[in-house]
Structure 1
Amino acid sequence: MDETDVLHAAAVLQPSIDEIHQLSNDLNLKCTAEEEQAFYEHYKGVLKSYQTVYELPDPQLPVKYPRVPGHREKHDNAWYWRCDIKGADTGLLAGKTVAVKDSIAVAGVPMMHGTKLLEGYTPEFDATVVTRVLDAGGRIVGKAACDDMCLSGGSWSSSTGPIVNPRDSTKDAGGSSSGCVSLVARGLVDMAIGADQGGSIRTPASYCGIVGMKPTYGLIPYTGAMGGAVTIDHLGPMTRTVEDCALLLEALAGFDDDKDPRQRPIDSIPPYSKLFNKSVSGRTVGVLSEGFQGVDEHVSKCVRDKLSKLSDAGVILKDISIPLHCVGTDIFVPITVEGSHACGALGYGSGYLWKGYYPVSLQEAMARGSTLRPYDLPINLKMRRILGEYIRRNYQNKFYARSQNLVPVLKKAYDDALKEVDVLVMPTLSKTAGDLPTTGSTAKERLQACMEISNNLASFDATGHPALSLNAGNSDQTGLPVGIQVVGRLHDDLSVLQMAYAIEQAP
């Protein structure tokens, strides 16, 4: 029997006259009966195209390495799923164990994205970063749990349970790459791949005292990962040392053959792993004054004490002011609220209107969950859904558009400052890790525990500048880790790594 003889189910059912009439009323189009009849006949031809698309084979991302799919880890909330996938015998990451945030697809391994809406889904494809880890000789040993739909700065909202801070089990580990930070900080894996759409790599890195890097926007391909909002999506390394951060960045970076609209063609990737430890003597660090505004005094002191030791390495410290930094989060908020609503609630994890690879099975799974179980979302996502839909219905996308128009203005302010200095530095966050909510916490307290957002984080997701958080030491007040953030010029991730290494090596 020829393939053309196979009976295919209808991809899209022909809308009836009654359905067309109802849609006309819902959209306030006031169509006549004659118009509705004409539409009914016209749609017969249009839907043939949908049938053709349905019957053509869907191109897939490659799956190159055999694997043991593994099992659900129920004794450690930092893991979502344990697996074992051995990569190439040699390469940059040979001998390294790697955890992958559960917003990133690994073929044959369940993916939950922290949310009950996606429970039961298993992708049939590997995200590009997964293939790159394996090509570089890394061994993927599991999926790290993450906060629900990766839209939380705290570590309590994952549907599989809260993730505690390795330094103090009553404290927040930071989100949404909460499982990644716990596994790396405890030495259960050598490195992890996190995602950052508003600080989701750097917040947990700061709270738990590890290295977390949000590279230049588009440097690492996002192909095969669950989108949050296409203009602020970043993947990046989470490691215990700057050296391992440079290794993982080098393995992951590079153009992905037009699969990811966040990228532009990249001629070459610097050998970060060979150059990260280059001397920084004579370089200038801009200490961003606005980056210290609203920061707890014990956090500022820890960061400034660490910076003072850079002069021994020949670094020149220069106070610098960027007034627009103070409204960076205000510019960012409509982009994340409306962008994530369009991508998640309306676009089922991928959204619309961009060229690249769309993971169809992931979209279908999200559509089922979003339709059947939206009430399973945690309080912070219910809040965002209501706000996103309210803005869409009443103000359309004009504030999103204004924010996007302001991003180049914010970007230029940083670019101008970075003409005077090699990198900018500031505290990663204004405070050390707070308490995790408990069963007795109020709705307001639970909501607040998700809203860890800072100008020092979100601004650089909007502009795309590379930003790395590493440990500046422990607070003399709380005894918990304090993060120091290094921000560099666009596409100069190497200078960020080099200055971070100098800070790491300072006594």
Structure 2
Amino acid sequence: MTFKMPSTEQVRKLGDALGIDVTDSYADSVIDFIKPFADGYRLITSLADDVPEIKYPRSGYYRPEGEENKHGAWIVKAQIRGASNGKLSGKKVAIKDTYSLAGVPLTNGASVLEGYVPEFDAPVITRLLDAGAEIIGKSVCEYFSFSGGAATSTSGPVHNPRAWGHTPGGSSTGSGALVALGEVDMATGGDQAGSIRIPASLSGVVGIKPTWGLVPYTGIMGMDPTIDHAGPLTATVADNALFLEVMAGEDGYDSRQAGLKLDTYTKAIGQEIAGMKIGVVQEGFGQYDSHPDVDAGVREAAKVLQGLGALIEEISIPWHLIGVPIWSAIALEGTYHGMIKSALPRNIEGVYPVSLAGRLGSLRERANELPDTVKVGMLLGAYTDKYYRGYYYFKAQNLRRRLRAAYDKALSGYDLLLMPTTRMMASKIPSADAPLQTLMQHSWEQITNTCPFNITHHPAISIPCGLGEGGRPIGLMLVAKHWQESTLYRAAHAFERACHWQSMGSNAKR
């Protein structure tokens, strides 16, 4: 890329866009003044970029077809072997298709990114490989990860292994499905509204959204930097704790990682929970479309924890129901600014994939390819940005403190909060020609209980706790104080070892 001086006409057009009256003579004066800057920009172009290293070789990739990809969960398969030994030796891993994996395509479920190949590995990738894991491919996700369902990815729908024709939960659809299928020991996820916990709930696996910043987000496509979280999906709680132990910690790039409080999460496995206080959040149940099997199944799970010696009490957090509008104002306008208007989020220190910015910079030319989920969200984000000057985004950012304080107040008297992860079980995947209203309902119906904690940054885990109508999994969500992931694992593992979750619920396997 070579920096070129602007023309008089270009300066005048820029002035028009900024509301500045620019005559030809004024434009020429501006050009004369900025000429010295040109050499600086050209120098920047000539210097080698500073991005994370690539430590482990990879020989290629392919798109699996037929029986090898029956559920549609793989976007590509590859083979990248890590260190010869380590905590994750022998573990097979799938990487959500939002993570930069050098030499392997990154599409984020989007047709407009087909053919894009990153030049570096996200630091989390290197950590997994350093610990001895083997990466065997990338998992499908929803288009720009902008859906909790399974109907928008450019590669087609991903089917729930426990309920064919139903969503495995999004946006990390392939990650949830591959873990449920047993094809991998762990899959990475990204969570902006519940995209780790929703597939964990609907697919019947374990998924954690850690405290914001605990896992570095460097080299991972997101939405708004203030709600982006990364974490693992696994079949068991013990594996989840193990993988988070490897993934967590500062990477030296991500400025969102100040003040981390790390722990050895695997030490929580096998601990008793007698005396632990758990608040059952009333507002997480009985919502207008809550399925009775879900509410009953989660309350049954609470009784299991009570039987293990935990103190279970009903509590009320009215602000919980205000989480969705606060999340919406931040996520929609934030994504509009960080992806559509500006190609990548600005004003944070970290690693910028400049080649990706170039691809996203031409998004307007192919905007009609976007699914309705992205179109509607970006139209609303653009509307509030243009006609309300960001008022709702800024006000929501302020109100997130009140929402956080409401949960903190409840957590001052309890070790954990408890509620359903998703208020319904996996829904059927809409047809490709489904009307806008059907697609939007499918894509956003599951975020009510999950998205508030993206705003407040509290760690939250989803574990399977039973089977409801049609044999579809039910997810139990536990929420802890910031940096208390070990408390989550302690309770989750106690529940897991106390019962066989598939023998619980209205459609239990007896």
- Structure 2-normalised TM-score? 0.94
> Pick from 36, 54, 58: which aligns with 2:27?
36
Could you tell me which residue of structure 2 aligns to residue 239 of structure 1? 234
2:470 counterpart of 1:478? yes
2:155 counterpart of 1:181? no
Q: Do the aligned residues in 2 keep the contact of 1:432 with 1:478 (CA within 8 Å)?
A: no
- Cα distance, 1:271 vs. partner? 1.5
Distance 1:22 1:421 in 2: 58
2:369 counterpart of 1:376? yes
Could you tell me which residue of structure 1 aligns to residue 109 of structure 2? 114
Q: Do the aligned residues in 2 keep the contact of 1:152 with 1:452 (CA within 8 Å)?
A: no
Q: Do the aligned residues in 2 keep the contact of 1:327 with 1:455 (CA within 8 Å)?
A: no
Could you tell me which residue of structure 2 aligns to residue 62 of structure 1? 53
2:254 counterpart of 1:260? yes
Q: Which amino acid aligns with 1:174?
A: G
Mean CA deviation greater in 70-79 or 319-328: 70-79
Distance 2:152 2:438 in 1: 13
Distance 2:104 2:347 in 1: 29
Residues 362-384 of structure 1: CA deviation (Å, up to 9, x unaligned): 2223224x143221111111111
Q: Do the aligned residues in 1 keep the contact of 2:424 with 2:446 (CA within 8 Å)?
A: no
Distance 2:63 2:234 in 1: 24
Give 1:93-492 correspondences, 5 Å limit: 93-257=88-252, 259-266=253-260, 269-294=262-287, 295-348=290-343, 350-368=344-362, 370-475=363-468, 477-492=469-484
Residues 211-246 of structure 1: CA deviation (Å, up to 9, x unaligned): 011000000001111121100000011001001100
Mean CA deviation greater in 24-33 or 392-401: 24-33
Q: Which amino acid aligns with 1:324?
A: W
Q: Do the aligned residues in 2 keep the contact of 1:198 with 1:453 (CA within 8 Å)?
A: no
Distance 1:128 1:452 in 2: 33
Q: Which amino acid aligns with 2:306?
A: S
Report how many residues are paired: 493
Could you tell me which residue of structure 2 aligns to residue 3 of structure 1? none
Distance 2:400 2:17 in 1: 36
Q: Which amino acid aligns with 1:358?
A: Y
2:79 counterpart of 1:84? yes
- Cα distance, 1:183 vs. partner? 0.6
Q: Do the aligned residues in 2 keep the contact of 1:205 with 1:483 (CA within 8 Å)?
A: yes
Distance 1:467 1:177 in 2: 16
Residues 40-76 of structure 1: CA deviation (Å, up to 9, x unaligned): 2112122332212111111121111112222122332
Distance 2:188 2:204 in 1: 16
Q: Which amino acid aligns with 1:354?
A: I
Distance 1:111 1:91 in 2: 27
SS in 2 for 1:470: strand
Distance 1:501 1:464 in 2: 22
Distance 2:446 2:202 in 1: 13
CA gap of 1:302–1:102, structure 2 versus 1, over 3 A, is same
- Cα distance, 1:33 vs. partner? 4.2
Could you tell me which residue of structure 2 aligns to residue 6 of structure 1? none
- Cα distance, 1:249 vs. partner? 0.3
- Cα distance, 1:443 vs. partner? 2.3
Q: Which amino acid aligns with 1:60?
A: V
- Cα distance, 1:440 vs. partner? 4.7
- Structure 1-normalised TM-score? 0.95
Distance 2:51 2:459 in 1: 31
Q: Do the aligned residues in 1 keep the contact of 2:461 with 2:488 (CA within 8 Å)?
A: yes
Distance 1:443 1:275 in 2: 45
SS in 1 for 2:135: strand
Distance 1:398 1:357 in 2: 29
Distance 2:334 2:432 in 1: 31
Distance 1:406 1:247 in 2: 35
Distance 1:216 1:22 in 2: 45
- Cα distance, 1:316 vs. partner? 0.8
